[in-house]
Amino acid sequence: MEASSSSPHPYAFCIHWHCNSCGEHVGSDGDIPSVDQLVYWSHPGTRRFIQQHPRWRSEPATLLEYNGQQVIHFQLADVESADHATIVAHSQTLQVLALSR
């Protein structure tokens, strides 16, 4: 996974899959959900926030350092209140390392 600054990808971060046998790129743009969607729907805490706040928006993700490792910082915000969730996920595995509301 890498940050995409000047690429045709519609998202700031994208996932690249390739075949270890032949080295070819697997899949095409749009075949894989966005990185933020993968993180949001794979974690019970973020799914709970989305269920409780049906009108939410995702703020742009950013790279930063957390506990000595590079992570992606995501933020969900309810559009009808001040409620929000901050998510810190590992930049390579997308494992949620911290979630605060």
Domains in the chain: boundaries? 2-100
Tell me what pLDDT residue 4 has: 45
What are the structure tokens assigned to 3, written together? 């940050």
Tell me what pLDDT residue 90 has: 93
Tell me what pLDDT residue 28 has: 58
88 Cβ contact partners less than 8 Å away, ≥ 6 residues apart? 66, 71, 72, 73, 74, 96, 97, 98, 99
CATH pick for 2-100 out of 3.10.450, 3.10.50, 3.30.1360, 3.30.450: 3.10.450
Tell me what pLDDT residue 46 has: 94
* Average pLDDT taken over every residue of the chain: 83
Tell me what pLDDT residue 5 has: 47
